[in-house]
């Protein structure tokens, strides 16, 4: 398994998880909800910085799906001159 695909599969396990944090003080509460989406993977991996590859501008959900299925691999990313930025 490609190392990029391995990261995406690990992130995929988070898609069903949602954290709810309730903070309270002096009778007032604030609820924070932290969730994960396929779209977040693109940002968290810094794929938008690879400006010379199509995945920088491509639909983020489809990029995630292509990584999961093995269409886009780490080797694809190594073709970018901006790889060092991520």
Q: How many angstroms separate the CA atoms of 10 and 37, rounded?
A: 13
What residues make up the domain containing 7?
3-85
Average the pLDDT over 58-86 and give the result.
Answer: 94
pLDDT at 17 over 90: yes
Q: How many angstroms separate the CA atoms of 41 and 61, rounded?
A: 9
Domain total of the chain:
1
Average the pLDDT over 29-45 and give the result.
Answer: 95
Average pLDDT, the chain: 94
- From the list 84, 54, 57, the residue with the least C-alpha distance to 72 is 54
pTM of the model: 0.82
- pLDDT band at 1, cuts 50/70/90? confident
């Amino acid at each position: 398994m490609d190392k990029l695909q391995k990261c995406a599969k690990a992130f995929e396990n988070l898609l069903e998880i949602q954290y709810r944090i309730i903070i309270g003080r002096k009778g007032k509460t604030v609820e924070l909800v932290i969730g994960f989406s396929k779209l977040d993977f693109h940002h968290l991996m810094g794929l938008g910085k690879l400006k010379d590859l199509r995945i920088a501008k491509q639909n983020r959900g489809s990029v995630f799906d292509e990584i999961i299925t093995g269409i886009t691999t780490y080797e694809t990313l190594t073709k970018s001159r901006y790889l060092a930025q991520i």
